[in-house]
Amino acid sequence: MSVQDAFQLANRRWIPAVGLGTWRMTKSQVSTSVQYALESGYRHFDTASAFGTAHILGDTLARFDIPREPLFLSYKLWPTEYRRHHVRPAVEKMLQDLQVDYLDAVLLHFPVAFHTGAGGKLTIDRTHDIGETWSELETFVTEGRIRSLGVSNFSIADLNHLQSRGGKIAPVLNQVELHPFHPQWELLEYCRNHGIHMIAASPLGGTAGKALRNDPTINRIAQAHNKTVAQVLLSWAIKRGTSVVPRSTDPQRIASNMKGMSLTDGEVAEINDLEERAQFIDHSKVLGIAGL
Mean pLDDT of 81-90: 97
d(CA 123, CA 282): 16
Q: How far apart are CA 176 and CA 198, in angstroms?
A: 7
Element spanning 54, H or E: helix 54-64
Asked whether residue 1 carries a pLDDT value surpassing 50, the answer given is no
Q: Please give the helix or strand (H or E) that residue 7 lies within, else none.
A: strand 6-8
Query: Any binding-site annotation on 109?
Result: yes
Helix (H), strand (E) at residue 14: strand 14-16
Q: Is pLDDT at 226 greater than 80 in this prediction? A: yes
- Side chain identity at residue 14, one-letter code: W
pLDDT (0 to 100) of residue 2 = 42
Quickly count: other Cβ atoms within 10 Å of residue 146's Cβ: 22
Q: The whole model's pTM is what?
A: 0.95
Residue 182 CA, chain-centre distance (Å), reads 15
The residue extents of the domains of the chain are 6-275
Q: Give dist(CA 35, CA 56) in Å, integer.
A: 11
pLDDT tops 60 at residue 248:
yes
- Rg of the chain (C-alpha set): 18
Give the DSSP H or E segment for 175.
strand 173-177
Residues sharing a CB contact under 8 Å with residue 169, sequence separation 6 or more, in sequence order: 134, 138, 141, 149
Amino acid, res. 188: L
Distances (CA, A) of 82 to 22, 110, 154: 22, 10, 15
Reply yes or no on whether the pLDDT at 120 is more than 60. Answer: yes
Residue 135: its H or E element: helix 130-142
pLDDT of residue 3: 53
Give the closest residue to 95 by CA, choosing from 134, 55, 62.
55
**pLDDT greater than 50 at residue 202:** yes
pLDDT at 163: 94
Question: How do residues 143-154 score in pLDDT, each as one tens digit?
Answer: 999 999 999 999
The H or E element that residue 73 is part of is strand 72-77
What's the full length of the chain, in residues? 292
- Please report, to the nearest 10 degrees, the dihedral formed by the alpha carbons of residues 268, 270, 276, 281 taken in order: -10
Q: What is the mean pLDDT of residues 127-155?
A: 97
Q: What class is the 6-275 domain?
A: alpha beta
Above pLDDT 90, what percent of the chain?
89
**What whole-number distance in Å separates Cα of residue 130 and Cα of residue 156?**
15
The distance of Cα 258 from the centroid of its chain, to the nearest Å, equals 16
By CB neighbour count within 10 A (0-12 exposed, 13-18 middle, 19+ buried), where does 245 fall?
Answer: buried
